[in-house]
């Protein structure tokens, strides 16, 4: 399997898939291979029954439908590649019916909750100054975690108030940033060289001067959410979700929000529009109903 996986990875790189996507494919394929080894089966000679057994195993492990679907997509594309290079004659995943994925509505903070959350970092410490700049920038630009952590110092233009970031398939977009983020970044740049012990070009890094992991960023977000006593479930994307909904609530058109978020299709952005409309209905009710 290793030889086929190496070739498949190269094929994905040629298609310019993102590093995170490729790593997910590798992980999913290796997990499936380990499962098959326990059943004394070989990857290139399985049928749909083996796939059904694997899905049942994932369910027993408590995997969410979204995780199971991602695993199946990884395997389907891997077998599709094996067919293309002539190693197999049929794709055992092709006729397997994908589980239904119920899309969860993202948790969104109110403007007041965002203010409380962003006031948590202690700006008397270097860590607090860095954290404040990271969080303010994420809310100001609505960027993904991977985009935030991959920003380089030359991607920021404080004079013209914008950042450049690369999204899916390395598509670059320019995003304006506001005065709060600019002020916090200016403060951060005063101490960045002190933290930058590895002389990195990255904009942000961990306290060892190395690239921060997604898990490391998630811990930062989780800790400040707890300190701010916010009862909602907060994750690494909460500020991005809140950014989108707050723009729509304040009159931004959905096409512009789509471009700012870097969504490939407007359908992905529509979920924020529905959240915004629901919020407006609640406000109308509270302001108009005599017993609200």
Residues labelled catalytic: 169, 240, 263, 272
Report the candidate in 106, 100, 35, 25 with the shortest Cα–Cα distance to residue 64: 100
Report the Cα 286 to chain-centroid distance in Å. Answer: 34
Q: What would the 3-class secondary structure string for 6-70 be?
A: HHHHHHHHHCCCCHHHHHHHHHHHHHHHHHHHHCCCCHHHCCHHHHHHHHHHHHHCCCCHHHHHH
**CA separation for the pair 148, 217 (Å, rounded):** 10
Q: Of all helices (H) and strands (E), which one includes residue 175?
A: strand 172-176
User: Looking at the DSSP assignment, which residues form a beta bridge with residue 82?
Assistant: none
Own/partner contacts of 175-178, CB < 8 Å, gap of 24 or more, are 175/141, 175/142, 175/143, 175/260, 176/141, 177/137, 177/140, 177/141, 178/140
Q: Is 157 helix (H, G, I), strand (E, B) or coil?
A: strand
Quote the Cα angle for 15-34-44, to 5°.
60
Report the candidate in 161, 159, 134, 160 with the shortest Cα–Cα distance to residue 147: 134
Q: Which residues of 50-68 are buried (b: 16+ CB within 10 A; e: fewer)?
A: bbeebbeebeeeeeeeeeb
């Amino acid at each position: 399997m290793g030889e086929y996986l190496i070739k498949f990875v190269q094929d994905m790189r040629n298609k310019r898939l993102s590093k995170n996507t490729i790593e997910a494919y590798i992980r999913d394929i290796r997990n499936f291979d380990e499962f098959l080894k326990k059943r004394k089966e070989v990857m290139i000679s399985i049928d749909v029954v083996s796939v059904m057994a694997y899905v049942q195993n994932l369910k027993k492990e408590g995997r969410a439908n979204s995780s199971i679907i991602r695993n199946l997509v990884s395997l389907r594309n891997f077998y599709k590649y094996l067919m293309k290079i002539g190693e197999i004659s049929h794709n055992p995943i092709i006729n397997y019916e994908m589980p239904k994925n119920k899309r969860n509505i993202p948790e969104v903070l109110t403007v007041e909750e965002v203010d409380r959350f962003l006031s948590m970092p202690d700006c008397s410490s270097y860590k607090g100054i860095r954290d404040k700049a990271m969080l303010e920038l994420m809310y100001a630009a609505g960027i993904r975690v991977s985009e935030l952590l991959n920003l380089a110092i030359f991607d920021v233009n404080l004079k013209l108030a914008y950042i450049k970031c690369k999204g899916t398939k390395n598509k670059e977009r320019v995003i304006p940033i506001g005065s709060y983020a600019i002020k916090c970044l200016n403060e951060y740049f005063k101490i960045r060289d002190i933290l930058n012990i590895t002389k990195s070009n990255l904009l942000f890094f961990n306290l060892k001067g190395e690239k921060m992991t997604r898990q490391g960023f998630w811990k930062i977000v989780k800790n400040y959410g707890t300190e701010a006593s916010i009862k909602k479930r907060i994750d690494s994307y909460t500020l991005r979700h809140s950014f989108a909904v707050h723009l729509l609530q304040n009159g931004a058109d959905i096409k512009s929000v789509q471009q700012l978020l870097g969504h490939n299709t407007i359908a992905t952005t529509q979920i924020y529009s529905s959240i915004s409309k629901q919020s407006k209905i609640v406000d109308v009710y509270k302001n108009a109903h005599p017993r609200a």
